[in-house]
Structure formats: structure tokens, C-alpha cells
Amino acid sequence: MADFYQEILSLRAIRAYEDRPLSDEHLDAIVEAARWTGSSKNRQDWSFVVVTDRDRLHGLAECGDFTQPVRDSAATIVLVKEPGGHDFDLGRAAQNMMLAAKAIGVASCPITLHRPAEARQFLGLSAEQEARYAVAFGYPAPNAAPAKFGGRKPKDEVVRYDRA
Ligand SMILES: Cc1cc2nc3c(=O)[nH]c(=O)nc-3n(C[C@H](O)[C@H](O)[C@H](O)COP(=O)(O)O)c2cc1C
């Protein structure tokens, strides 16, 4: 239990990956973590596009501004908001994928697709589907470390009790 809690607290965005594919077992475990995420009214108004082809990863990276992790990843999973879907649900699925990945030794980094219209076209989505966020995955490179600008605001600054 204490270990589980520490794993949650120590989850960080990792942007340097080994140049090798994820095993099918590991990739499937990550996808399953997304699929089993709870959603508003259990509607599951989402889908997940798993990109592993190197050329496709480079193309996908053009849809956002800070996407080097996508180019370097073994797999990047795009969270697609289906009609009626909620960002909150997609955020939960992303976090579950990241935590599940960590549990099996896979590093990850959330990614913003700053040009979702381009992402929609690139992925072949319909006008009703939205692709604004993704998560890049890979086995951590030997020198992989969290960004130096990490850390968090002090508790006093961000936590209030009973009223603002
Ligand atoms: C919604 C969201 C979008 C993000 N987009 C990107 C991105 O496009 N590129 C990137 O390198 N990191 C991205 N990140 C990762 C953040 O930079 C990272 O979570 C933050 O710096 C804290 O990092 P740490 O948990 O390693 O301390 C994103 C994170 C979130 C939550």
C-alpha cells in the first residue's frame, strides 16, 4: 500500500526513451488501463489511437509544438474525444495509462497536440472527433530523468479547507 502511494507521488514526465519497441504485452497492458478507466456515466465516449510506426510518429509530432517525445517514443497513444465526451474523462484515462506504464517499467510523457485540426486530418478522424492530447511511451533511456523545472507549489499555496 505504501509502495503504491509512493509510485503515484513519484510519477514524472520522462522524455528520453530507449530505441526499441514496447512488447505487445506491455502495450496491451497500457491500452487496457485506458479502456478500464471510469468515465462520466460510464459512457466511455473516447477512443485511443496507438501510433508505433516511426514515420507516423514523426508526422503526428508536427501537430504539436513540444513533441520531441513523440518522435522518440516507442508508441504514442492519442486520446480521441468522441461526441459527448469529457476532457475530465480523457485526463483520467491518460493518468491511468501513465501509472500503469510506470508499474511495468515504461516511461511516459503527456503531449499537447496544439493543432487538433491537423491531428484530426492526420489520423483520419471525423469532424465530430477531437484529438488534442496524447501520451508518449517508451522504455526509459539509461540517462532518463525528469525535467529540472519540476517540483510543485507549496501546499499552503494550492490547498484550501472548507472555503477558498
Ligand atoms: C495537459 C498536459 C499537456 C502536456 N503537454 C506536454 C507537451 O506537449 N510536451 C511535453 O514535453 N510535456 C507536456 N506535458 C508534461 C508537463 O510538462 C509535465 O507534466 C510537467 O512539467 C510536470 O512534470 P513532472 O511531473 O515531470 O514534474 C503536458 C502535461 C499535461 C498535464
**Cα(143)–Cα(50) distance, integer angstroms:** 26
Q: In order of start, what are the domains of the chain with their CATH numbers?
A: 10-141 (3.40.109.10)
* CA nearest neighbour of 25 among 93, 111, 103, 95: 103
- Are 26 and 97 in contact by the 8 Å Cβ rule? The answer is no
Bridging pattern class, strands 75-81 and 130-138:
antiparallel
Task: Please give the single-letter amino acid code of residue 152.
Answer: R
Q: How far is the CA of 95 from the centre of ligand 1 (A)?
A: 12
**Cα(23)–Cα(19) distance, integer angstroms:** 13
Which residues touch 137 (CB under 8 Å, ≥6 apart)?
Answer: 17, 22, 27, 30, 73, 74, 75, 76, 77, 97, 101, 106, 107, 108
Q: What is the pLDDT of residues 66-87, one digit of tens each?
A: 999 999 999 999 999 999 999 9
Q: What is the pLDDT of residues 18-62, one digit of tens each?
A: 999 999 999 999 999 999 999 999 999 999 999 999 999 999 999
What's the pLDDT at 60?
98
Compute the average pLDDT of residues 87-97.
98
What's the pLDDT at 105?
98
Q: Which of 70, 72, 98, 109 to mutate to test the pocket of ligand 1 (most atoms within 8 A of CB)?
A: 109
What's the pLDDT at 1?
67
Which residues touch 102 (CB under 8 Å, ≥6 apart)?
Answer: 7, 11, 108
Q: Which of 7, 72, 111, 152 to mutate to test the pocket of ligand 1 (most atoms within 8 A of CB)?
A: 111
